[in-house]
Amino acid sequence: MITKKQRVDAANKSIKYLEKAGIVLTLREKDEIEIADFGLERLDELGLEIITYINTERVCAKELILFPNQLCPEHMHPEINGKKGKEETFRCRWGKVYLYIPGKPVKNPQGKPPKDRFEYFTVWNEIVLNPGEQYTLYPGTLHWFQAGPEGAIVSEFSTTSVDEADIFTDPMIKRIPEVY
């Protein structure tokens, strides 16, 4: 859970990152920035700021804002009611992002999960995305990602997003934010 003040502060910080990257938002989009702390109350470390432009029965487009070294925990998008899980393409717009997927583990990963949650990060094949680079994740792919030291902005283009159905490796994760 996060406080209303933490939510407002994170949203304002997100807007500043987007302005640095030259990404323009409407007032409504600014008001609707989702602040996800994953129920761990460690937003600066384990969190994600999200703007959803569109999410229909067929397509979804979002901006994912990550503060310096902030990470989105390991998860996958499962099949739902007989429909394949979400397929998503991440395109780095600003900063640097380290994306981890199944495959050959990298020897010296740039991503640094917190020591007390390390056991919940199991995939270590590293994809480094710089501005203008992109990578597509197919349904059911376990993945996690972390911003570099400046933070990052990633545009996500995907099939329908059903965030509440995401399956996280860490059993303590709560995907839907709670604000008090």
Residue 176 domain flag: no
What pTM did the predictor assign?
A: 0.95
DSSP notation for the chain: -B-HHHHHHHHHHHHHHHHHTT----HHHHHT-EEE-TTSS-TTTB-EEEEEEEE-SS-EEEEEEE-TT-EEEEEE---BTTB----EEEEEEEEEEEEEESSSPPSS-S----GGGGGG----EEEEE-TT-EEEE-TT--EEEEEEEEEEEEEEEES---GGG-EESSTT---S--B-
Residue 28 domain flag: yes
Residue 79 domain flag: yes
User: In angstroms, rounded to a whole number, what is the distance separating the alpha carbons of residues 165 and 77?
Assistant: 7
The pLDDT of residue 175 is 81
User: Where residue 148 sits, what CATH number does that domain have?
Assistant: 2.60.120.10
Residue 174 domain flag: no
**And the tokens for 141?**
């792919």
The yes-or-no verdict on residue 180 having pLDDT over 70 is: no
Residue 123 domain flag: yes
Q: Which domain holds residue 120?
A: 4-168
User: In angstroms, rounded to a whole number, what is the distance separating the alpha carbons of residues 59 and 16?
Assistant: 27
Residue 175 domain flag: no
Q: By percentage, how much of the chain surpasses pLDDT 90?
A: 93
Q: What is the pLDDT of residues 111-142, one digit of tens each?
A: 999 999 999 999 999 999 999 999 999 999 99
Per the structure, how many domains does the chain have? 1
Residue 138 domain flag: yes
Residue 68 domain flag: yes
